Structure 1
Amino acid sequence: MKLVDEAEIQVIAGNGGNGCVGFRREKFIPLGGPDGGDGGDGGSVWLVADENLNTLVDFRHQKIFRAQRGENGMGRQMYGKAGEDLVVTVPVGTVVVNVETDEVIGDLTRHGERLLVAKGGKGGLGNMHFKSSVNRAPRKALPGLPGEQRTLRLELKLLADVGLLGFPNAGKSTFIRAVSAATPKVADYPFTTLYPNLGVVSVEPHRSFVIADIPGLIEGAAEGAGLGTQFLKHLQRTRLLLHLVDIAPMPYDSGSGGVEGVSPAAQVRAIERELEKHDPALLAKPRWLVLNKADLLPEEERQAAAQAVIDELGWQDRWYLVSALGREGTWPIMLEAMAFFDRLREDAREADAAAGGRGG
């Protein structure tokens, strides 16, 4: 599925209704006192996270969201009806930024989570509030206050369990097609993936996790080269990184963007530098190395080539040799990833139980 992961919208809360200037008029009471009611409050604008949404594409077509105005007050001390709130649904994982101040207003990470982004104006007071011993018939009422207005930038950060990263053309799209039902575009040139893609890996009934194919990174991504900062942000919420590397890069070609012909170990180190520049916490995440495109090497040379890369890097964590195109060696990684997440959940339950015991 393609993701539109950034949009700009304007939210306008409703103005408060005006207070009323009115006087009591009944038979045999010709000089009744003031009875003008208050105006109703304006409606507010709320954002609500919805797990059934996975893109911000709808906000490319509708950009202005306006809540209802409060009704004016009326005579006989009748208050105006409050304006209805406007609820706008956004995908889980949406970060909300005030464009004018560049301040993060909120981060909607749970289904049903609500965020007030524009508060409705207060209704004005009717003239019944201004009666005094020296002014028995006030003709003063207050207008309603204006509702808040903001221009917001919505940024969608994927809530995926596994993030695929690597140079362009490392085989990430092919890998996600091999292990899930996602069908991203696959071709033999760099930058095929221009949007993040999500896939659900079903290990068995009721046991699954989400994997994200992040567009390929290039050197300078942390500074925005190749839209790198927009893509790196999607890795921040993942729990496990799979670092795909082309174990058999083609000879260098200046027309390829300079990403081919780089040795596997150099590819790994270049990506590590970009992760650390963008956010050192990314480099600290669990990261397994996946040496891809083994099918391009003679079978008798594959293991030795992979071991040479591991030795050159001094790699201490898990690593795998696969051919995503032939789906060779990909499924065992998914099984180990599922077991990894099961352990994380068990550790979290034990930590909660221990915390509850201390609290008791």
Structure 2
Amino acid sequence: MSKKLFEPAQLGPLTLSNHIVMAPLTRSRAIGNVPNELMAEYYRQRATAGLIITEGTSPSADGLGYARIPGLFNQEQVTNWQRITETVHHHGGHIFIQLMHAGRIGHTLNLPAGAEVLAPSAITAAGQMWTDEQQLLPHTQPREIRTDELARLRDEYIQSAKLGIDAGFDGVEVHSANGYLLSQFLNPHSNQRTDAYGGSVQNRARFVLEVAQGVADAIGAERTGIRLSPWGTDADMPHYPEMDETYAYLAEELQKIGLVYVHLVDHSSMGAPAVPAETVATIRRLFTNTLILSGGYDAERAEEALQSGRADLVAFGKPFISNPDLVERLKTGAPLAPLDADKLYTPGPEGYIDYPTLDGQPAGTFSPSYQA
């Protein structure tokens, strides 16, 4: 039996070179929140993935909760992202940009002047945020988004998606997972609103669906995906009784919009509760377009998920950090190189573009005008 993992795959109008997706991975190399040549080299090295989904990229200044994450809301960012998409396409890859508004997961020291930490409710997330100025600090208390501001926030996603197409991306992934802004609306612990965007499952899902619909209308549903993390507990997001009902409702409504894919995250390999098989099966039944599964997969488990029909594509995250040639290693059964956890989020090329390929050679030569 041929290995489906390495065969071409269809994603809407795109023919991918294989069924392997590079999951979005925050790497904090965007000095000044602007993509750079270092990032272009990083994505070039990994362009053998069937689909690359970029690191979380904010659609607005308010959403830049972390240090050194990129944005996509001004012309300089568009121009620099274009260099990255051209590089990936030149090397045979496809690339979607993940739009991630951090919401209450952030600190004002990481935001440009005039920007603020916003959330569905003024409830501070537990935990700390790294700032380059003062190192680890508690999350900033967010300001509750007024009802009359929600259309502007939705339009920021829409405008950013349009800029993504201008920059040459093949599509956009709307990030509604892992405790960031859109998933903060879904969870009653972070959303205690009393307007039409709080209370019932349908109300808490309303803003997510408005953003998904707006982006799909602007750039085409065949270019629009979404990331969801049912049962995820990242970023101070405890479980709630209507969790499965929430994601079943989302799956049904996202199918009506016609999004090209749903990308489901399971972080049980990192200590979070596993997503129950019946939850995934329900989403699979209600959302019949492409389903991407991610979370601790190896080649054998990925192949089984594809052959069984539980997934259409499988995303790999951390293995892509230290294995720029991950596709080749999975194909040949070669051992995977370990990552340097100390360099995951540090500025500069170390632990970013200097991981060697299987033959022991550097993944690429690089001498940009970039300075960390």
| TM-score with structure 2 setting the length | 0.31
Superposition TM-score, scaled by structure 1 size: 0.32
- Which of structures 1 and 2 has the bigger CA Rg? 1
Structure with the higher strand share, 1 or 2: 1
